[in-house]
């Protein structure tokens, strides 16, 4: 290799020095070959790709659909093709489900999902007809957060209407939303309604104090034990029991819970190429969460895609003030307790009525290195037997599997997980991702729970127990 | 507080998983942390011990004859011949029926996708019917959409290499695959699930359709070789169905990356980790470490989880992060280094001495890595252990050129086994 060529190194600490102080004795003077980037510069990422195709072997879509050219094409190859004026973004980018598996697969530090997100955004922006059925449908799916409050205001009516086969038929015929799936039910009381009724932060502050007093150990006395809960849309509108479980578990450990204003995490918007919608949502979230950090809180999420989005996608795609700080201080709910408390020690000796679970680690947990966590932690509870159903993708990938044209692919991807759930000696499913849980239920008919619900049951008992205990205390 | 285990293995390839399994055998709590996916996906799935001597003599009939003559500092010399045998038998127990070759100490000769013959100690059961020492005539089947395996060329190359049989190759179109760039996982999935495909004869299962496409081309051959895409999770079943339908033995020819036999080996090893109770944390890098007060022991390492720093503490550590390709050893213009603990990597000061012009020559960079003592502890430039509780295994070690010697799998197994066993023994104290 001649000295004039740029080495194919890739961002290791202390990598290739651009300043000439180190290599002056080589008489090597780097020159600026490329003009300053006006937009996000993905060249170093593209140049890191040595085409080993490891990403392709991890792509759940390419495994079942050979018309999808795979992440290596969608990322570095397409990026290069696009340098020429005569190549537009290929429409196959819309077949990517945004599971982000390619990210943790790549042995060469190529930011694949960042490349996919920007390519998809550009495709939707420049090539998708804004009046097309597909665009309107995607916009609706991506902005579920905007419709949910309406349904949540009239949950019984909404559940009734959404459950009608005629609604599903219309959904498929007019919008291309598959009629194979049943819409998730809206809760009759959202988490935030419950939270307000319960007395909001003031109540939580008191309960945390009580818990600290009861726990007695010096470490628990700290007034700084404070978290801001990013509940996301689903545990607010659809599964408030998950959000309530989080509140109870954290208060049990003496944490005061704050519930800041928040918008959708942006995950469904990234996946649909609606980057402007995502930007607006992220701006609100970063502002509110940064303020919570300022107040001494760490950010905790119970949904694996929400935490993924805040931790990885925000810093990759946006640069609001505080974005990096918010990303660095956001945690998965169980992970945080493992690091800041002796969670497993606390769980030792707890017991629940015998129950077995078929556990699926969501792709977005996997990408955060959290795939082994649930099995490890639940192992400490007597009576609980959780079986990992393997590393395959559930196939739904958020809004992806809701689209009529993706339904079949989505179910083919899910086949392996369904088989393994069937093989596992359990009749109840367990996961941390709302849409994975929809897919698990859809494919097996099992009831699906969230890990926090099990932890809450083991540590503080059921809702009923808690209310009764407090009733006695106040009497 | 830190996440605590007795033994922490860094790296999830063949060496790392072997070390973790060997440590777990000592009844200690083991965790394996791996960042990106390992180079097993690039690997042929063959477990070589030694195909050629460092001087280039070979192919060797019995690798163990040559092991005692290896130069000082070679990983096999460090652990000793007996440890290599023990490690192989440890692997045999883990792999069970998925691998063959344990019946002999001699090397087997496995045909590769280029039509060369590779000496290897253990091979996946899927390649067993294809051995070059077997004198049965052979039909190789390639596919138009899989240009990595040019069957007629591979067959001609095998014959030119002097194999004791007639080899013939044909190229067909793969039923159910329409795109030129379908991934190998797509072929495997199609056969695994026996998906319904359209052929001239109507809709049939993918396995049946493939057998029907090949049938007319089989003449007197009693075995048929395919590129290694015959299923993933249900590979044995796929092979058996094809063999039944064709009335011949069916085998796979190992391919270049990405490689299904490598993927299957990875799955096999991770299943074994789960069974052994090893905790696995994947997708996240270790970014720093802290020593204890005396500076001699690693107290804990810090894992970066998309921005959050998570301490992991163990009594014993095994470094199995790979070589230059796996990024356990890295280089920049001025130096070659080991990025996690900055262990000493001996190399010439002038980077023009890192390589020789002959591409297939004796490349110094191929041997870059950590020097270790007989306990496999990395050594400083002054020959002192870098840390008393750190051992190294696999391609991160110096002193061997696995590509030239065909010793990659064996070194990873032997050093992983020894490092893991020692770490488990000490970590349990």
Residues of chain A neighbouring B41 (CB-CB closer than 8 A) = 52, 54, 57
CATH topology of domain B113-253: Rossmann fold (3.40.50)
Give the list of residues 6+ apart from residue B339 with CB closer than 8 angstroms, or none. Answer: A12, A13, B327, B328, B330
Distances (CA, A) of B44 to B38, B223, B368: 13, 21, 22
Say whether domain B3-99+263-427 belongs to CATH 3.50.50.60. Answer: yes
Give Dmax (Cα) for chain B: 75
**Strand, helix or coil for residue A147:** helix
Q: Which of B1, B257, B281 has its CB closest to that of A369?
A: B281
pLDDT in tens, B180-232: 889 999 999 999 999 999 888 789 999 999 999 999 999 999 999 999 999 99
- When scoring A53, A369, A412 by the number of chain B Cβ atoms within 10 A, the one with the most, hence best to mutate, is A369
pLDDT tens, residue order, chain B (429 aa): 788 999 999 999 999 999 999 999 999 999 999 998 888 888 899 999 999 999 999 899 999 999 999 999 999 999 999 999 999 999 999 999 999 999 999 999 999 999 999 999 999 999 999 999 999 999 999 999 999 999 999 999 999 999 999 999 999 999 999 888 899 999 999 999 999 998 887 899 999 999 999 999 999 999 999 999 999 999 999 999 999 999 999 999 999 989 999 999 999 999 999 999 999 999 889 999 999 888 899 999 999 987 788 899 999 999 999 999 889 999 999 999 999 999 999 999 999 999 999 988 899 999 999 999 999 999 999 999 999 999 999 999 999 999 999 999 999 999 999 999 999 999 987
Q: Inspect the interface and report whether the beta carbons of A372 and B184 lie closer than 8 Å.
A: no
DSSP string, B22-72: HHHTTT--EEEEE-S--GGGGS-S-B-S-SS-TT-----S-HHHHHTTPPT
What is the structure's pLDDT at A4? Answer: 39
Of A12, A315, A338, the CB nearest to B330: A12
Residue B237 to residue B231: CA distance in whole angstroms: 8
CA A314 to chain centre: 12
Q: Enumerate the β-bridge partners of residue A57.
A: none
In Å, how far is B215's CA from the nearest CA of chain A? 25
The confidence score (pLDDT) of residue A241 equals 96
Residues of chain A positioned with their CB less than 8 A from the CB of B302: none
H helix or E strand, kind and range, residue B223 = strand B223-227
* Assembly ipTM: 0.88
- Are B77 and B71 contacting, i.e. CB atoms less than 8 angstroms apart? yes
Contacts of A170 (CB under 8 A, 6+ apart): none
- Kindly state whether B181 is in contact with chain A, defined as any CB-CB distance less than 8 angstroms: yes
pLDDT score, position A26: 55
Q: Is B279 on the interface with A (CB under 8 A)?
A: yes
The pLDDT of residue A156 is 78
CB contact under 8 A, B258 and A56: yes
pLDDT at residue A177, as a whole number: 85
A42 and B21 in contact (C-beta within 8 Å)? no
In angstroms, what separates the C-alpha of B36 from chain A's closest C-alpha? 5
Q: Which of B 318-347 lie inside 8 A of A, CB atoms? A: 325-327, 330-334, 339
**What pLDDT does residue A86 have?**
72
Q: Do B42 and A64 touch (CB under 8 A)?
A: no
Tens digit of pLDDT at every position of chain A (475 positions):
343 344 444 444 444 444 444 444 556 666 666 555 556 678 888 889 988 899 999 999 999 998 899 999 999 998 888 887 777 888 889 899 899 999 888 988 899 999 999 899 989 988 888 888 888 888 888 887 777 777 777 777 777 777 777 777 777 777 788 888 888 888 899 999 999 999 999 999 999 999 998 887 655 566 789 999 999 999 999 999 999 999 999 999 999 999 999 999 999 999 999 999 999 999 999 999 999 999 999 999 999 999 999 999 999 999 899 999 999 999 999 999 999 999 999 999 999 999 999 999 999 999 898 999 999 999 999 999 999 998 899 999 888 888 888 999 999 999 999 999 999 999 999 999 999 999 999 999 999 999 999 999 999 987 666 666 666 544 4
The answer to whether residues B221 and B138 touch, using CB atoms and an 8 Å cutoff, is yes
Taking an 8 Å cut-off on Cβ atoms, the answer to whether B258 and A54 are in contact is yes
Q: Give residue B138's pLDDT.
A: 97
Does the beta-carbon distance from A53 to B258 stay under 8 Å?
yes
Domains of chain A, CATH where assigned: 24-126 (1.10.1060.10), 133-175 (no CATH), 191-341 (no CATH), 348-460 (3.40.50)
Output the pLDDT for position A190.
94
A105 contact B CB<8A:
yes
- On the 0-12 / 13-18 / 19+ scale of CB atoms within 10 A, A473 is exposed
Are residues A62 and B186, on separate chains, in Cβ contact within 8 Å?
yes
- A-B contacts (CB, under 8 Å): 140
Q: Chain A closest CA to B330's CA: distance in Å?
A: 8
Which of B183, B279, B310 minimises the CB distance to A62?
A: B183
Residues from chain A that touch B303, judged by Cβ atoms under 8 A, are 369
Q: What is the chain A residue with the closest CA to B331?
A: A9
Q: Give contacts of A108 with chain B, Cβ < 8 Å.
A: 36
Q: Does A69 contact chain B (CB < 8 Å)?
A: yes
Q: What pLDDT score was predicted for residue A221?
A: 62
Contacts of A217 in chain B (CB under 8 A): none
CB distance B183–A66 less than 8 Å?
yes
* DSSP, res B115: S
Q: Which pLDDT does position A8 carry in this prediction?
A: 42
By the CB < 8 Å criterion, does A23 face chain B? yes
A7, A341, A370 member nearest B333 (Cβ): A7
The answer to whether A63 faces chain B, any CB pair under 8 Å, is yes
Rg over CA atoms, chain A = 24
Do B257 and A52 lie within an 8 Å CB cutoff? yes
Residues 329-358 of A with CB under 8 A from B: 329-331, 335, 338-342
Q: What is the residue extent of each domain of chain B?
A: 3-99+263-427, 113-253
Q: What pLDDT, on the 0 to 100 scale, is given for residue A18? A: 44
Provide the pLDDT for residue A220: 57
| Cβ distance of B308 and A315 shorter than 8 Å | no
- Is B333 within 8 Å of A23 when comparing Cβ atoms? yes
The H or E element containing residue A331 is strand A330-332
Task: Please judge whether A330 and B184 are an interchain contact, meaning their C-beta atoms are less than 8 angstroms apart.
Answer: no
Query: Which chain B residues are closer than 8 Å to A106 by Cβ?
Result: 36-37
Cβ-Cβ contacts under 8 Å, A309 against chain B: none
**Which residues of B fall within a CB distance of 8 Å from A324?**
307
pTM above 0.80, yes or no: yes
Question: How far is the C-alpha of A443 from the C-alpha of B40, rounded, in Å?
Answer: 32
Find the residue in B nearest to A309 (Cα): B306
List B residues 233-262 in contact with A (Cβ-Cβ < 8 A).
Answer: 233, 257-258
Residues of B in contact with A95 (CB under 8 A): none
- pLDDT, position A217: 61
Question: At which residue do the structure tokens 């496995």 appear?
Answer: B110
Whether A66 and B178 lie within 8 Å, measured CB to CB: yes
**Contact flag B305-A327 (C-beta cutoff 8 Å):** no
Task: From chain B, pick out residues whose CB is under 8 angstroms from the CB of A58.
Answer: 37
**Quick check: B282 and A12 CB within 8 A?**
no
Is the Cβ–Cβ distance between A338 and A377 less than 8 Å?
A: yes
């Amino acid at each position: 290799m001649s000295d004039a060529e740029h080495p194919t190194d890739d961002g290791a600490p202390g990598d290739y020095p651009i300043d000439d102080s180190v290599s002056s004795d080589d008489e090597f003077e780097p020159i600026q070959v490329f003009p300053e980037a006006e937009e996000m510069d993905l060249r170093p990422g593209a140049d890191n790709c040595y085409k080993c195709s490891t990403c392709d072997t991890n792509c759940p879509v390419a495994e079942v659909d050979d018309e999808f050219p795979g992440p290596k094409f969608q990322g570095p190859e397409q990026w290069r093709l696009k340098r020429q004026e005569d190549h537009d973004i290929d429409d196959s980018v819309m077949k990517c489900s945004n599971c982000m598996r390619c990210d943790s697969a790549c042995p060469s530090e190529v930011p694949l999902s960042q490349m996919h997100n920007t390519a998809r955004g550009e495709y939707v922006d420049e090539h998708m007809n804004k009046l097309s059925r597909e665009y309107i449908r995607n916009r609706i799916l991506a902005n579920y957060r905007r419709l949910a409050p309406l349904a949540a205001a009239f949950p019984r009516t909404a559940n009734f209407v959404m459950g009608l086969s005629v609604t599903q038929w219309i959904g498929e015929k007019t919008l291309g939303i598959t009629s194979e799936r049943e819409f998730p039910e809206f809760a009759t009381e959202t988490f935030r309604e419950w939270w307000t009724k319960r007395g909001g932060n003031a109540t939580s502050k008191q309960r945390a104090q009580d818990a600290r007093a009861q726990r007695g150990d010096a470490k628990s006395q700290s007034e700084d034990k404070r978290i801001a809960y990013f509940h996301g849309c689903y545990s607010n509108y659809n599964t408030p029991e998950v959000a309530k479980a989080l509140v109870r578990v954290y208060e049990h450990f003496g944490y005061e819970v704050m519930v800041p204003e928040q918008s959708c995490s942006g995950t469904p918007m990234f996946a649909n190429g609606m980057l402007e919608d995502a930007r607006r949502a992220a701006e609100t979230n970063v502002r509110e969460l940064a303020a919570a950090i300022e107040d001494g809180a760490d950010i905790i999420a119970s949904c694996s895609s929400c935490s993924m989005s805040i931790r990885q996608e925000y810093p990759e795609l946006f640069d609001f003030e505080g974005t990096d700080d918010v990303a660095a201080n956001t945690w998965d709910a169980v992970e945080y307790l493992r690091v800041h408390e002796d969670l497993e020690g606390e769980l030792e000796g707890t017991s629940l009525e015998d129950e077995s679970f078929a556990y699926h680690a969501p792709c977005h947990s996997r990408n955060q290195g959290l795939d082994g966590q649930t099995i490890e932690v639940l192992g400490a509870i007597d009576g609980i037997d959780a079986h990992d159903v393997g590393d395959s993708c559930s196939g739904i990938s958020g809004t992806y599997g809701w689209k009529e044209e993706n339904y079949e692919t989505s179910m083919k991807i899910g086949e392996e997980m369904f088989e393994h759930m069937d093989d596992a000696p359990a009749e109840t499913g367990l996961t941390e991702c709302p849409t994975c849980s929809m897919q698990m239920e859809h494919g097996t008919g099992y009831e699906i729970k969230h890990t926090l619900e099990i932890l809450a049951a083991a540590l503080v008992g059921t809702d009923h127990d808690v209310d009764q205990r407090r009733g006695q205390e106040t009497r | 507080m830190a996440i605590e285990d007795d033994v922490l293995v860094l790296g999830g390839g063949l060496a790392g998983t072997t070390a973790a399994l060997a440590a777990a055998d000592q009844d200690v709590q083991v965790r394996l942390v791996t960042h990106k996916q390992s180079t097993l996906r690039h690997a042929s799935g063959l477990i070589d011990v030694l195909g050629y001597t460092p001087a280039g003599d070979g192919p060797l009939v019995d690798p163990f004859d040559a092991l005692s003559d290896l130069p000082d500092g070679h990983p096999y010399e460090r652990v000793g011949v007996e440890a290599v045998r023990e490690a192989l038998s440890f692997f045999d127990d883990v792999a069970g029926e998925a691998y063959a070759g344990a019946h002999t100490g001699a090397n087997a000769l496995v045909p590769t996708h280029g039509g060369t013959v590779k000496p290897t100690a253990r091979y996946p059961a899927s390649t067993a019917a294809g051995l070059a020492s077997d004198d049965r005539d052979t039909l190789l089947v390639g596919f138009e959409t899989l240009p990595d395996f040019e069957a007629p060329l591979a067959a001609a190359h095998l014959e030119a290499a002097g194999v004791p049989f007639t080899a013939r190759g044909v190229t067909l179109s793969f039923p159910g695959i329409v795109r030129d760039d379908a991934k190998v996982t797509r072929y495997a999935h199609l056969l695994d699930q026996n998906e319904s495909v359209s052929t001239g004869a109507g809709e049939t299962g993918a396995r049946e359709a493939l057998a029907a496409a090949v049938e007319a081309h089989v003449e007197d051959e009693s075995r048929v070789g395919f590129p290694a895409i015959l299923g993933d999770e249900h590979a044995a079943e796929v092979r058996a169905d094809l063999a039944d339908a064709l009335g011949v033995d069916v085998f796979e020819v190992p391919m270049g990356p990405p490689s299904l036999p490598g993927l299957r080996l990875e799955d096999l090893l991770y299943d074994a980790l789960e069974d052994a109770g090893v905790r696995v944390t994947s997708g996240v890098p270790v970014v720093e470490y802290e020593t204890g007060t005396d500076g001699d022991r690693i107290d804990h390492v810090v894992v970066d989880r998309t921005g959050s720093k998570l301490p992991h503490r163990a009594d014993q550590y095994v470094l199995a992060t790979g070589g230059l390709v796996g990024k356990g050893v890295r280089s920049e213009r001025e130096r070659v280094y080991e990025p996690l603990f900055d262990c000493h990597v001996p190399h010439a000061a002038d980077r023009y001495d890192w390589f020789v012009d002959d591409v297939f020559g004796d490349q110094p960079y191929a041997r870059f890595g950590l020097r270790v003592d007989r306990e496999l502890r990395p050594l400083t430039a002054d020959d002192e252990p870098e840390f008393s509780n750190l051992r190294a295994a696999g391609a991160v070690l110096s002193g061997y050129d696995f590509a030239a010697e065909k010793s990659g799998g064996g070194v990873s197994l032997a050093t992983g086994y020894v490092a893991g066993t020692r770490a488990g023994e000490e970590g349990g104290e």
